[in-house]
Homo-oligomer: A and B are copies of this chain.
Amino acid sequence: MKILIIGAAGMVGRKLTSALIASGSLAGKDIERIELVDAFEPEAVTADGIEIARKVVDIADPSVAPDLISRRPDVIFHLAAIVSGEAELDFDKGYAINLDGTRYLYDAIRAEGQKADYCPRFVFTSSIAVFGAPFPDKIGDEFFQTPRTSYGTQKAIGELLLSDYSRRGILDGVGIRLPTICIRPGKPNKAASGFFSNILREPLIGQEAVLPVDETARHWHASPRAAVGFLLHAAEMDTASLGTRRNLNMPGLSATVGEQIEALRRVAGDKAVALIRKEPDAMITEMVEGWAKDFDASRAMSLGFKAESSFDEIIRIHIDDELGGELPK
């Protein structure tokens, strides 16, 4: 079993790599090799009995995909993307990486398959940004894709190509639309969605965090651990059950900011909640209003994808995975 992870240096890529090394196998087969590639140097990792290769690549360069695919990985995780904000600011870069880069990968697989039988499992991380407001209260599995960002457009196109190339037997694709990942480990960042994590992560370690929206704001979440679970399940599942509909809304937890805060209170007490400073920001409030709030992810759940069912659980996962299992004294 040879695995290629594109976008391996990101938070989810690193956690996925660790999970694969810890397991040593995928889909019941021993892992022989993992190739980690990204536009930034992937972290050095070691693993007994698994060859690890690391490479800095630009997937918008048409010569890169044929090289990566020439080693015929059995499973490809494609996590690399120019994020929403940057794809909006830099039109050319967003289309070059998110659309052309993805298509080069698909076409390199097709070319490799024309040399000798080859049809790898291709796990494509898409996004709920393929949807655009106005939404129903709960977005169902058959709601249409009307992205309101270039990023969402590029992801929706990646999904369509994934389905068509799968239907034609070129690759065996599963597209997964991830919820917002919460609690993101690390430092606060400038992403407009960052506060959903900040207001939990920082108070848990005794630091202040800013809440720019009202407590009634509702959003769609899953933990980093759930995200890695989605990726592994997408790599291992029987795709016969997908038919030609290869792209799935992942399950998640719909919660208001107020519900997040009450979960924080139950897990870490009033002292932690007191560290949340309300600083309403009209621009962020308006952006969050336009984001998807809730999904009926029945199809993915019936196919075995699992997410958290309470914010208490999401917070405890963060404490387990990032804080060594207990809150700092």
Interface residues of A (CB under 8 A from B): 91, 132, 141-148, 150, 153, 156-157, 160-161, 163-164, 167-168, 244-245
Contact = CB atoms under 8 A, between A and B. Distances in A.
Given A91-B168, A160-B156, A168-B91, A142 B144 contact: yes
Contact of A160 (B153, B164, B167, B244): B153
B146 A245 contact: yes
12 contacts: A132-B245, A142-B144, A145-B160, A146-B244, A146-B245, A147-B163, A148-B167, A148-B244, A150-B168, A153-B160, A153-B161, A157-B160
Nearest to A151: B164
Contacts of A150: 164, 168
Given A148-B167, A157-B161, 16 more contacts: A91-B168, A132-B244, A132-B245, A142-B143, A144-B144, A144-B145, A145-B160, A146-B163, A147-B160, A150-B164, A153-B161, A153-B163, A156-B160, A157-B157, A157-B160, A160-B160
A140 B196 CA distance: 34
A238 B211 CA distance: 40
Nearest to A155: B160
Contacts of A244: 132, 146, 148
B132 A147 contact: no
A124 B156 CA distance: 19
Contacts of A144: 141-145
Contacts of A167: 148
B168 A164 contact: no
A172 to B, nearest CB: 17
